[in-house]
Structure 1
């Protein structure tokens, strides 16, 4: 169904990043991380060009730690990178502007990092194979400032107007409800709680696999649209009874405690102003026609 927005009034602006190289911090000197049981592991993590993980694939089962599908971009200047992370929105068009793949287009599918480190962009496989680290990517950023006049309590986050229009939704008793694959209960919200909701990601807990399965979260795919119960993400992510946030699964599971699949929050509201309904298979890979 159609829900009125102020899309005609928002500003579209360019932001640029470069394909980010995977990195390790200088300290501690060893590259190993610890899983939830204290066992050291060394797996690929976020960053770079990922050739065999794409939106629509499973969010679980990879020998990786919170891997971003396709391409991760960031700006080398910290302040400009913050601008990229704040203004880029899921569903925005992106274009490679340097290197062998110059002119190829892709789509923003998520954001990630504790402090809004990277933007995740889907490109088809041929484009990924032609791209290189440090290639420039320009995002036609549109979505910040998007509002719903008939639902003023609902805050839109990192969501393009076109993707909002395409999401399954309905209004019941004045409450906007979004079609989702599953709902994350509040006790399963993990890393990212307390941090900004304008960039970066909010993770779900996945150490307790039985609890994960009990809520139908063990079958999630990258790009799935999900609800997060009792979570208020208007400014920072935090627990608030009756609130709800809507997220899109942007990165894979990982073995560390608190770092299950990462979600990019795209809508949030307190006090029962936002709801959800079951819509199996709702995934932006299909909505945005990103599959090969």
Structure 2
């Protein structure tokens, strides 16, 4: 369904980052982390160029900790990295401007980090094999300031107008209804709660696998569009009865408590102005035509 937005008034601006190297904290000196049962593990973590995980793949089952599919970028200057993370939007185009893959194009598929750390960009497999850490990638940022005049209480976050236009949706009784694969109940909202909603990610709790299976969440894929119940993300992520968020699964799960699949929240409203309906298979890999 076509819904009018203010897309013609949105400012389009460039932001730039470099392909990030996966990193581990210098202290404590051991590189191990603890899983939900207190056992030490050492698995790849987020960042870098991931050759074999792609949007559309399962969000579960990988021997990794919150893995980003494809390529992660950041800016070495903290303030400029904040600008990159806030202004880049899911669905924005990206262009490699240095290195062997210069000229190749990709698409922003998510953001991650407690403090707006990295932007996740999809490139096809052939391009990934040419990219190197520290290659520079330019994002054509468009989407900050997006709104639907017919639903003024719905706040948009990190969503390109082009992707919004392509998502399944309708307006019913002044409520913006979005088609989703699944609905996340508030008791499964994990890491990211209490932090800013302008960047970074909000994670699903995934330690209780029986609960995930009961709710049909164990089949989530990277790129799935989901609803988040009783969650207000207008300024910070927090519990609020009657609120709702719409998110896109951007990262895999991991073994730590609270760090299941990470979602990039793209819409939110505080009191029933945003709703959801079942639209199985709604995934940005299909909507945007992303190739493995």
The verdict on a shared fold, with TM-score over 0.5 as the criterion, is: yes
Match of 1:114 in 2: 114
Matched position secondary structure for 2:129? helix
> Unaligned regions of 5+ residues in structure 2, if any?
none
Deviation at residue 3 of structure 1 after TM alignment: 1.0
The residue number in structure 2 matching 1:27 is 27
Aligned to 2:86: 86
1:70 aligns with 2:70: yes
- 5 Å-filtered alignment, 1:1-292, equals 1-292=1-292
Distance 1:18 1:291 in 2: 22
List per-residue Cα deviations over 1:194-225 (Å, max 9, x = no partner).
00000000001000001111111100000000
SS at match of 1:251: coil
Report the RMSD for the aligned CA atoms in angstroms: 0.5
Query: TM-score of the superposition, structure 2-length normalised?
Result: 0.99
Over 6 Å off, 4+ runs: none
Q: What's the CA shift for 1:291?
A: 2.5
Consecutive unaligned residues in structure 1, runs of 5 or more: none
CA distance in 2, matches of 1:152, 1:52: 41
Aligned residue pair count: 292
Residues 56 and 291, structure 1, Cα contact 8 Å, conserved in 2: no
Distance 1:126 1:105 in 2: 12
Q: Which whole-Å CA distance do the structure 2 matches of 1:96 and 1:46 have between them?
A: 20
- 1:159-180 per-residue CA deviation (whole Å, 9 max, x = no partner) reads 0000000000011111110000
